[in-house]
Chains A and B, each alone.
Chain A
Amino acid sequence: MAVTREDVLHIADLARLGVDSARADELTRELSSILQHMEVLSQIDTAQVSLTAGVGAGGTPLRPDERVAPLMEGTLESFAPSMRDGFFIVPRLATHEDPTESSA
């Protein structure tokens, strides 16, 4: 199944990856070529086959629903960029509004 340039731009958007025009052409070729090798799977009859999502032994084990010590080996302050009143201070996401869009 050949991948189109539009496919690449669409999945790049889904994956939050910025892809410029030249790279989009390159990726279209590369992904099409890779996926061509996957076509062999379509010839395998798997109608009666169960799916394998993992190979771990048994199901997911459960632990008692008890409060446990925090996972951090150091203090929060030891790796936080900055803290105030017990909260992390992180770079603001104020730029998440697109400045070109008009606010209604």
Chain B
Amino acid sequence: MLGAADIASAVRAGDASPTEMVRASFNRARDIGAGHDELNIFLHSDQEASEHEAKSMQERLQSAADIGILAGVPVAVKDNIATLGLPTTCGSKILAGYVSPYEATAITRLRANGALVVAKTNMDEFAMGSSTENSAFGPTRNPHDVRCVPGGSSGGSAAAVAAGITPIALGSETGGSVRQPAAFCGVVGVKPTYGRVSRYGLVAFASSLDQIGVVGRTVDDAALGLESIAGFDKMDSTSSDAEVPVYRLSALGKPAPEVGAPDTEAMRIGRSPVALPPPPSAKTLEGIVIGKPREYFPDTLDTNIKDLCERALDRFRSMGATVRDISLPRSPLAIPVYYILAPAEASSNLARFDGVRYGLRVDSGKGLKAMYESTRSQGFGPEVTRRILLGTYVLSAGYYDAYYKKAQAVRTLIADDFRAVFTSGVNAIFTPTTPTPAFPVGAISDPYEMYLNDIFTVTANLAGVPAISVPIGRMRRLPVGGQVITAHFDEYTMFRVAYALEASLGQEAHQ
């Protein structure tokens, strides 16, 4: 599978057609075994409809209309992002067969930029999980080792990219659900700053944490994907009107140019190509200070993962960066905080699935309350039920102050830690993305043990800062990811460091 930039260039130059690109994706999906009984990556796809859309794209190209930076690029989309034409089920029985009457802003923008949506991907039910085992439609398998999980909750999106079906996929993040599966599948995963991408059309799980994110085969794919969906949207009052830089320019290893300069605008709409990043040199990260937080490198961290991170930190030094030991002292509290706040918000958001408004309805004729209870108990799986109950408990009278208010206060402290680090001159923070590589399907049955998979990712969601996971090597033949975190709305520096790391590691990132 070509990268997104190469596909768009070929399509714009007339060397490839959008239809060929769509067919290549479906052929690859068939060849690799993406179907339900194999990798189980897709929940919904319609090749005929996708080819029809590709044909329209071809007509737009011929009429010399501006197609955008993703001209003819096939994209897979997590099944909790509303799409016209394909169902949006959130991996849940309660929404089986539901087709949204409107489309998410991120999807509208993808299409406006020339992308072609080819499939909706499997996920943990309502994005609650770290392995995609919680899907009502069966687990997705990791393309690197089918005995293992792909991570979650955006496991289908990460697997689609890792399997070479699409160069870009959309996922969603509440506590690490793009970065963790990206790390497990050996691809790149981005969680943007809260507010950077519109949440309009993303089925709500925990509204103060949710963000649409991007999985890419490379940093460049992820940068293109994010650039195409980012920016203010009047349909989401929490979206930011901060300017969106041309993220690809960060590949050149220089500070961000002024927004609005004519040459950068040409790159933004895909008219002018961005040069490939130069080979890494001692000046690539000159002036960049990278923080290494001690709380993310505990003595208990697997030695293989620690060694791969140290190699990455050495590469940063060799490219001119300064690596500084730092502390984010409240980070160890992030899992308890997250697993109070996210279920609390979920218990409210998921109240709308009651058998009246959407999808499944189980009515035994015993009254309205019985209908609600039957519908919800039969429609939701065990993890969703557990989290709704946990959320209801921490919000209920007598426990609200001890749990919910307490967690909100500690969230402030966690965010303060990040603010203090970034105002002390640190430009980026580097950590492992996950404490382990992908684990076997069925290996973790204790809910809290599963929650600990998010231990290094969840802080970025609580603080609202952007973060990216990049492949940094392998252990036991399974991919390992390293994470770069930057300050609010500084995705440009995040991509600059990620491009440099990827270029510096080259094939070593996948060995």
Contacts and interface: CB of A to CB of B under 8 A. Distances in A.
Contact of B390 (A34, A52, A63, A93): A34
B240 A56 contact: yes
B340 interface: yes
Contacts of B451: 34
Contacts of B235: 71
Contacts of B45: none
Contacts of B366: 95, 98-100
B371 A31 contact: no
Given A27-B389, A72-B102, A73-B84, A95 B464 contact: no
Contact of B372 (A10, A16, A55, A78): A16
B99 A55 contact: no
Given A14-B396, A93-B368, A49 B412 contact: yes
B102 to A, nearest CB: 5
B447 A38 contact: no
B117 interface: no
A61 B242 CA distance: 13
B393 A11 contact: yes
B409 A46 contact: yes
Interface size range on B against A: 35 or more
B392 A11 contact: yes
A38 B336 contact: yes
Interface size range on A against B: 35 or more
Interface string A27-54: 1001101110110111010100111111
Nearest to A55: B464
B298 interface: no
A16 B410 contact: no
A95 B365 contact: yes
Contacts of B412: 46, 49-52
Tell me whether chain B's interface is mostly helix, strand or loop, or mixed: helix
Given A11-B392, A57-B488, A17 B376 contact: yes
Contacts of B84: 73-74
A69 interface: no
Nearest to A12: B389
A35 B390 CA distance: 9
A86 interface: no
Nearest to B347: A15
Contact of A72 (B99, B101, B361): B101
Contact of A96 (B103, B367, B390): B367
B407 interface: yes
B406 A41 contact: yes
Contact of B377 (A18, A33, A72): A18
Contacts of A85: none
B393 A31 contact: yes
Interface string B1-39: 000000000000000000000000000000000000000
A54 B464 CA distance: 8
Contact of A17 (B234, B373, B415): B373
Interface in B207-242: 207-208, 234-235, 237-238, 240-242
Contacts of B337: 41
A60 interface: yes
Nearest to B365: A95
Interface string A71-82: 111100011000
Given A17-B380, A93-B356, A44 B408 contact: no
Interface string B363-395: 101111111111011001000011011101100
A44 B448 contact: no
Nearest to B387: A34
Nearest to B389: A11
A38 B464 contact: no
Contacts of A52: 408-409, 411-412, 415
A41 B386 contact: no
Nearest to B405: A51
B335 interface: yes
A69 to B, nearest CB: 12
Given A34-B448, A96-B368, A42 B410 contact: no
A60 B393 CA distance: 29
A40 B409 contact: no
- Among A33, A57, A60, A78, residue most surrounded by chain B Cβ atoms (within 10 Å): A57
B482 interface: no
Contacts of A31: 386, 389-390, 393
Interface string B71-97: 000000000000010000000000000
Contacts of B103: 73
B420 to A, nearest CB: 14
B413 interface: yes
Interface string B417-439: 00000000000000000000000
Nearest to A38: B336
Nearest to A46: B409
B205 interface: no
Given A37-B448, A73-B102, A99-B365, A57 B336 contact: no
B244 to A, nearest CB: 14
| 5 interchain residue pairs of minimum CB distance | A55-B464, A96-B368, A46-B409, A18-B373, A18-B377
7 contacts: A15-B351, A16-B354, A34-B390, A42-B406, A49-B412, A56-B194, A61-B237
Given A15-B392, A17-B373, A41-B336, 17 more contacts: A14-B392, A15-B351, A15-B376, A15-B389, A16-B369, A27-B385, A37-B336, A41-B406, A46-B410, A49-B410, A49-B413, A56-B194, A56-B464, A73-B101, A74-B84, A96-B371, A99-B367
